[in-house]
Amino acid sequence: MMKATHMGVRELKNTLPSVLKSHKPVVATEHGKPAYFLLPYEDMVEIVEMLEEARDSQLVSLVAEGRKAYGKGGWRPASKLWKKLDL
């Protein structure tokens, strides 16, 4: 959200066509407080896909295993992970 453009709702209303053409995230504020968040469709699809991946218990286990090994100074070739995931 830090990289998003912040603008008041009234300004957003007056500049909506150019805001949409910019394909950049926008935080719309009311009385200086964030009220709405506008995202390009592609960004939202990417977020939804990441959330769906986070629900995959096998993938979550592999990530946890990788973090643990990395913390110990160990690593695992990506080819082994792909094989385990049938990718």
Q: What is the mean pLDDT of residues 42-53?
A: 92
* CATH code for the domain in which residue 21 is found: 3.40.1620
| pLDDT tens digits, 62-77 | 888 888 888 887 677 7
The residue segments making up the domain with residue 63 are 44-84
Same domain, residue pair 10 and 35: yes
Largest CA distance in the chain: 55
Same domain, 35 and 50: no
pLDDT in tens, 14-26: 999 999 999 999 9
User: Does 81 have pLDDT greater than 90?
Assistant: no
Q: Which pLDDT belongs to residue 14? A: 97
CA within 13 Å, CB half, 59: 10
* 3-state DSSP assignment of residue 87: coil
* Number of compact structural domains in the chain: 2
pTM for the whole structure: 0.59
Question: Are residues 60 and 30 both part of a single domain?
Answer: no
Helices (H), the chain: 9-22, 41-54, 57-71, 78-84
Q: Are residues 78 and 48 in the same domain?
A: yes
